[in-house]
């Protein structure tokens, strides 16, 4: 668990340069999480990468999360400072009908594949990405399968007896 002093150091580094970008910050299940506005996410991560006090220079995770009740898709970034063994989670929220954000590849070249996967499964457009195309699904697929707007199984099947599945 990250100490309060370390949390304050990170928040002050962000607020000194990007005042008003932090929407919410705090511990969520023993993980320091910062929710930010989407416009400056790449610049904030770049600051956390280069800042002398933070040095979050390892991208652990980049993924999408669909919140159908809020009609939003979140993009979640987890960063790691390898010298202090501190980890943080950054989240931004995008409208589900037009989920667009700038690519993180100028800061972390390793963001290339997770961004492609997030596009493939959630439909998030990463502006400026060098090769944004589907990575696991077929190119002509019209849906984004990890959005929670699709049924888990075909409701019209007649060959299945629900009694066999405990329903």
Model confidence pLDDT, tens digit, residues 12-24 = 999 999 999 999 9
CA dist 51 and 32 (Å) reads 18
In a domain, 166, yes or no: no
pLDDT of residue 165: 63
The CATH number of the domain holding residue 146 is 3.30.460.80
CA dist 88 and 31 (Å) reads 7
In a domain, 165, yes or no: no
pLDDT of residue 63: 98
Containing structural domain, residue 43: 4-151
In a domain, 89, yes or no: yes
In a domain, 64, yes or no: yes
How many distinct structural domains can be found in the chain? 1
- Note the pTM of the prediction, 2 decimals: 0.89
Cα 6 from chain centroid? 22
Contacts (Cβ under 8 Å, ≥6 apart) of 32 = 2, 6, 7, 10, 25, 26, 86, 87, 88, 89
């Amino acid at each position: 668990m990250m100490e309060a002093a370390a949390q304050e150091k990170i928040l002050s580094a962000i607020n000194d340069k990007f005042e008003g970008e932090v929407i919410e910050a705090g511990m969520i299940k023993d993980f320091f999480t910062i929710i930010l506005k989407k416009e400056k996410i790449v610049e904030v991560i770049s600051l956390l990468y280069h800042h002398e006090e933070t040095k979050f220079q390892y991208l652990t995770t980049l993924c999408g999360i669909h919140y159908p009740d809020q009609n939003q898709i979140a993009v979640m970034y987890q960063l790691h400072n390898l010298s202090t063994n501190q980890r943080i989670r950054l989240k931004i929220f995008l409208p589900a009908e037009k989920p667009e954000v700038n690519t993180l590849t100028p800061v972390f070249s390793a963001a290339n594949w997770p961004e492609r996967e997030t596009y493939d499964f959630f439909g998030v457009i990463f502006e400026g990405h060098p090769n944004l195309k589907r990575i696991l699904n077929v190119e002509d697929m019209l849906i984004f399968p990890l959005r929670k707007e699709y049924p888990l199984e075909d409701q019209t099947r007649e060959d299945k007896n629900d009694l066999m599945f405990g329903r």
